Structure 1
Amino acid sequence: MRKTNQDGQAIGRKGAESRARLLVAARHLITATPTETLTASAIAREAGLASQTFYLYFKGVDEALLCLSRKASEDTGEIVAELDRPWDSGQLRHHAECVVSAFYRYWDRHRAILNIRNFRADGGQDSFVEVRNASAVPIVTKIAARIRAAHGETALSEREAMSRAIIIFSAIERMAARYAYLPGWRSFVDSEDLKRAEAEILTLLISPGRAI
């Protein structure tokens, strides 16, 4: 968290509380308000603060959204823990399912702001790209290490393992982000079908001797 406000003054306890209230209000509003219509005054009003108070702590709405994106992006501990724990070679499907389920829970906790983060990142806003990558790269790297360890360094280069990890990460993220919105597909599959399919693909990638 930044230590000074926009006027360069140190943020004390009351200032930190006001800033936190504004972020809570912004998080609440983005679940029901289109981002393009979100305003500083609406956030301040939701927080029960004066409009000018918002600009004491944030340059604009985008900075508040970036702060929320950064906080959400740091909450990947459960996913990382699943990838770091020792895996039983006879239970690879179970471990893959745990990783996928942790990913979905992460998205369920932060769906609104993560969708905004990714939309801004895809649109080329560098600050959101940086936040997104800081969250994704450690996970992708750990998946790649699992893939390469399963097949051997002589069979699969680091770049090849990373490429496969990026593809499976992107697929899981996309489905976790949008599984509640499957127009035209709901008569065929639901979110549990998608999770099982993703776990099966991840299992194939991390299974020794399997075609990749």
Structure 2
Amino acid sequence: MTRTKKNLSGQEMGSKGFLTREKIVNATADLLVSRPLRNIKVADIGQSAGISASTFYLYFETVGDSALAAIERVEQSSPKVVKLLKQSWTRATLLQNCKKLVHIYFSIWDEHHALLRVRNFVADEGDRRFYDARRRSLEPIHHALQKKMSELQGDLPEKLRLDPPSTASVILAMLERTAQIIRLPSAHKATRPRITETTAFLVASALSGGKSFVERRPGTPKVHVTD
């Protein structure tokens, strides 16, 4: 993302200005860990950052703007995710790679859960800025999933192939929601390892177009995802 060079008064920001803006963004991010966005006031941010309200308004018009600045620093399409998806996958390694993908994805959520939760909630309420921030953050993964799907389903008859853009959107929606609920206590004795394993299986099934990818163990019946 392009670094902001001027404050809201149109003044070029020097090192002190950048530092002050960064303090505001960091204070907002810290407050979002324990409070909903709607409950955070400029005075709260000022107290946490050690600045006055008038100083806050030199850099941001609203608390939502400073929250958005904090959210846009989160690199959800991390180099680890993109690198993994760019590697060569086969059906034999598909499930193992999907487990790695899910693990990395959930780890990003663990680290930035407060900011990502707020981003998705406000985006779902209709704020276009937060919606666009989510789209930009996920777009590299979305494109990489589409490419991976085309590779893995290339030998399927065309009528049996899943639509890459639609399927990638569904996969990401599942990952986003599961990454949130996996952090909550389960009413049904679901465990994090089992949820992760199931999520990886579903991602693998979608990427492969439902074609068999489960490796058989000696002495066990053959397993097919579809007939």
Match of 1:97 among 96, 99, 102: 99
Q: For residues 39-89 of structure 1, what are the alpha-carbon distances to aligned partners after superposition, in whole Å with 9 as ceiling and x for unaligned?
A: 111111101112211111111101101111111145632222221123354
Determine the C-alpha separation between the residues in 2 that align with 1:114 and 1:206.
25
Tell me which residue corresponds to 2:137: 135
Deviations 1:111-164 (A, max 9, x none): 101111111111111111111111122212211221221112852699712222
Q: Separation in 2 of the partners of 1:127 and 1:157?
A: 37
Larger relative helix fraction: 1
TM-score (norm 2): 0.85
**Structure 1: segments with no counterpart, 5+ residues:** none
Residue matched to 1:145:
147
Give the share of equivalent positions with the same residue, in percent: 25
Q: Which 10-residue stretch deviates more, 49-58 or 175-184?
A: 175-184
> Unaligned 5+ residue runs, structure 2?
213-225
Alignment of 1:37-76 (within 5 A): 37-73=39-75, 76=78
Moved more, 144-153 or 30-39: 144-153
Q: Which range moves more in the overlay, 65-74 or 158-167? A: 158-167
Match in the other structure for 1:172? 175
Q: Provide the C-alpha distance between the structure 1 equivalents of 2:81 and 2:55, rounded to a whole number of angstroms.
A: 37
The question of whether the paired residues in 1 share the 8 Å contact of 2:23 and 2:49 is answered with yes
Q: Are positions 1:205 and 2:168 aligned together?
A: no
Render the CA deviation track for 1:23-49: whole Å, top value 9, x for unaligned. Answer: 111111111122211011111110111
Q: How many residues align?
A: 210
- Structure 1, 16-25 or 157-166: larger mean CA deviation: 157-166
- Is the 2:109–2:116 Cα contact (8 Å) retained in structure 1? yes
Larger displacement relative to structure 2 (10-19 or 136-145): 136-145
Q: TM-score, normalised by structure 1?
A: 0.90
Q: Say if 2:120 is the partner of 1:118.
A: yes
Higher deviation after alignment, 119-128 or 69-78? 69-78
Quick one: which of 17, 32, 36 aligns to 1:30?
Answer: 32
Matches within 5 A, 1:147-162: 147-152=149-154, 155=158, 160-162=163-165
Secondary structure at 1:71 match in 2: coil
Q: State the superposition RMSD in angstroms.
A: 2.1
Distance 1:106 1:156, change over 3 A: farther
